[in-house]
Amino acid sequence: MKIGILEGDYIGPEIMAEAIKVLNAVSQKRKLDVELVDLEVSGKAFDKYGKHLPEHTLEAAAKCDALLKGPFGGPTEEINHPKWSGLERGAILPLRKNFNLYANLRESKVFKPLIHLSPLKQEVIDGVNILIVRELTGGMYFGEQREEIVNGERRWSDSEAYSESEIRRISITAFKCAMQRRKKLTLVAKSNILKNSILWREVFNEVAKEFPDVTTDYMHVDNASMQLVLNPRQFDVIVTSNMFGDILSDEAAVLPGSIGLLPSASLGESSFGLYEPIHGSAPTIAGKNMANPLSMILCIPLMLYYTFNMKDAAALVDNAVEQVLNAGFRTKDLFSANDDPSKVLGTVEFGNAVVEAVLKS
Ligand code: IPM
Ligand code: MG
């Protein structure tokens, strides 16, 4: 397996190093043949080439089976610096579009030993496991943008359009995911207002006929955002547009207690996938051995599962992480009053604990 490494900025290299250690441990256990390819991107590429995503990076990435991506971005006070300001449209969106990664999977699940960290009451959050399937290469993110002067004032616009085929393929992905889970799928849109949401409902209902075992329902996005905090357990899989998915997946991501816990997968038609944490590059804690590497480490089982179809190897890592948390080990962001302060580990030490658990299992 050939894996492209886009380590990213600030805490990116630190958490990536831990994920790679864990991958090496799995490959040692399961005799996998892993080749890692370093790919120049984001801040470092900008310093060297004046571009966030140079052509040679894309070419090398295309030769890989999967990409592991760390968070991209700089500090808030440098937000207007060219090194960081064009990053979204200069690297993040082109990466998604270039590899046609139209399905973004973000799972928010509660880790039992961390349940007290949730902003919701324990009885509300207990047992929550929600998979948001977000459309990633269409909609408002890729719609027409205009800067006009109308009646002597600036009038700027973005537009959202979806074609049937785009809705169909993401719906199929979501139904397939639901089949592997609790077989419940909720479509979230805004069909009381938006034309393209009506199309989402129609195409979704057509696809539903091919998956009779999946129970479906529909929610307007405003209601869905409320239901996510009122009664998150009612959800299994949610499928939605790029923009709504961006917003709802952040909301869902904090339910387990720390945004540092969750990985995501971006997939297309083939087994090629891009795996990344859903949080940013956290410049304020970079270089301090403080970052929680779990979101990056948990990209490994996602990659093993979706790209390489290695369910056992994926479970090996998931179980190792659970063991480490069950044993009371924490990173700083996960520490709370009832925890044993001697079990608060740095980024590297936490990674070591997961590696040890993998090797012992
Ligand atoms: C995400 C992020 C990105 C998005 C940004 C960084 C472009 O918020 O992956 O959710 O809006 O898709
Ligand atoms: Mg987002």
Q: Atom 10, ligand 1: which residue's CA is nearest?
A: 246
Ligand 1, residue 249: give the atom nearest the CA: 10
Ligand 1, residue 264: give the atom nearest the CA: 9
Q: How far is the CA of 25 from the centre of ligand 2 (A)?
A: 31
Digit-coded pLDDT (tens) for 78-104: 989 999 998 999 999 999 999 999 999
Rounded to whole angstroms, the Cα distance separating 204 from 135 reads 13
Q: How far is the CA of 246 from the centre of ligand 1 (A)?
A: 7
Mean pLDDT of the chain: 97
Burial 99-130 (b: 16+ CB within 10 A, else e): bbbbbbbbbbebbebbbebbebeeebbeebbb
Instruction: Provide the annotated active-site residues.
Output: 141, 190, 222, 246, 250
Number of separate helices (H) and strands (E) present in the chain:
15, 12
Q: How far is the CA of 203 from the centre of ligand 2 (A)?
A: 25
Q: Are 1-107+255-361 and 129-254 equal in CATH topology?
A: yes
- For the chain, give every domain's residue range: 1-107+255-361, 129-254
According to the model, what pLDDT value does residue 329 have? 97
Residue 303: pLDDT above 90?
Answer: yes
Q: How far is the CA of 149 from the centre of ligand 2 (A)?
A: 30
Rounded to whole angstroms, the Cα distance separating 41 from 48 reads 10
Query: CA torsion 91→93→98→102, rounded to 10°?
Result: 150
Ligand 1, residue 250: give the atom nearest the CA: 10
Residue 258: pLDDT above 90?
Answer: no
In DSSP terms, 216 is beta-bridged to 185
Q: Atom 9, ligand 1: which residue's CA is nearest?
A: 278
Phi, psi (rounded to 5 degrees) for 244: -65, -35
Q: Atom 12, ligand 1: which residue's CA is nearest?
A: 246
The fold for domain 1-107+255-361 equals Isopropylmalate Dehydrogenase (3.40.718)
Burial class (CB in 10 A: 0-12, 13-18, 19+), 147: exposed
Digit-coded pLDDT (tens) for 8-57: 999 999 999 999 999 999 999 999 999 999 999 999 999 999 999 999 99
According to the model, what pLDDT value does residue 79 have? 87
Q: What is the mean pLDDT of residues 50-77?
A: 97
Rounded to whole angstroms, the Cα distance separating 88 from 250 reads 17
| Residue from 104, 137, 142, 246 to probe ligand 1 pocket by mutation (most atoms less than 8 Å from CB) | 246
State the pTM of this model: 0.96
Digit-coded pLDDT (tens) for 116-172: 999 999 999 999 999 999 999 999 999 999 999 999 999 999 999 999 999 999 999
The fold for domain 129-254 equals Isopropylmalate Dehydrogenase (3.40.718)
Q: How far is the CA of 278 from the centre of ligand 2 (A)?
A: 7
Ligand number nearest to the C-alpha of 243:
1
Ligand 1, residue 246: give the atom nearest the CA: 10
Q: What is the mean pLDDT of residues 317-330?
A: 97
According to the model, what pLDDT value does residue 357 have? 98
Digit-coded pLDDT (tens) for 181-209: 999 999 999 999 999 999 999 999 999 99
User: Which residues, judged by CB distance below 6 Å to any ligand atom, belong to the binding site of ligand 1?
Assistant: 88, 92, 246
DSSP assignment letter at 260: G
Give the DSSP H/E element, type plus range, for residue 149: strand 145-150
What sign does the dihedral 303-309-315-317 (CA atoms) show?
negative
Rounded to whole angstroms, the Cα distance separating 211 from 214 reads 6
% of the chain exceeding 70 in pLDDT: 100
